Amino acid sequence: MVTYSVKKNKKSRMTFRLFGLFLVSFALLMIVPTLMGYEKVKVFWLIITALFGLYGLMLIIHSFAKTSYDIVYEFNEDDILVRHHWGETTYRYEDITDLSLISPENENVYSIINLRIGKENFVIPFTLKKDFCDKVYTYVNERMTVKMLEDDLSKKDTE
């Protein structure tokens, strides 16, 4: 079993929420008077303002996502246990749709594992831990390959 913890900054979540609130309030201050007939504004600017408001709303909603909080990943023999702010979630290695390792030219600075399970995307950063990142990537890749081969063999046996 391999365990890794990713710490997230609370100030970043608050900044996204405040900026999103600012964009939504700006959009409301521009759109509501126009719809009530107090101001004459071109339709183009209304569309741009509405897009700003929708982007602000998206920032607010995304700041409550489970990947915005501290996460502990436990890579077990049969599954991946993700402990986050909203509880625990268990994923099977068979459900992984994409696993990739991102390493920059200067590998000593950081490395990233991008793990996609269904519709969820987990970006796991490793700052100054290139060796540990390679160990986790190899571990997950081996488990994923073994589970996929077991599934293929079981499908061939049933046919």
Q: How many CB atoms lie within 10 A of CB 85?
A: 13
Q: 121 or 24, which is more confident?
A: 24
Q: From 141, 98, 140, select the one nearest 119 (Cα to Cα).
A: 98
| First-to-last C-alpha distance (Å) of the chain | 34
In whole numbers, what is the pLDDT of the chain averaged over residues? 86
Query: Are 121 and 100 contacting, i.e. CB atoms less than 8 angstroms apart?
Result: no
> Is 90 exceeded by the pLDDT of residue 55?
yes
> Does 51 score more than 90 pLDDT?
yes
Helix (H, G, I), strand (E, B) or coil at 157: helix
Residue 158 has which token pair? Answer: 């049933």
144-155: pLDDT as tens digits: 888 778 777 777
Quick one: which of 84, 113, 111 has its CA closest to 99?
113
- Residue 63 has a pLDDT of 92
Closest CA to 122 of 94, 97, 87, 148: 97
Would you call 136 exposed, middle or buried from its count of C-beta atoms within 10 A (0-12, 13-18, 19+)?
A: buried
Tell me the whole-structure pTM to 2 decimals: 0.72
Handedness of CA 55, 57, 60, 63 (dihedral sign): negative
Cα–Cα–Cα angle for 82, 114, 70, rounded to 5 degrees: 40
Which of 13-22, 25-34, 131-140: highest mean pLDDT?
13-22
Residues 26, 74: Cα–Cα separation, whole Å: 42
- CA–CA dist 63, 106 (Å, integer): 31
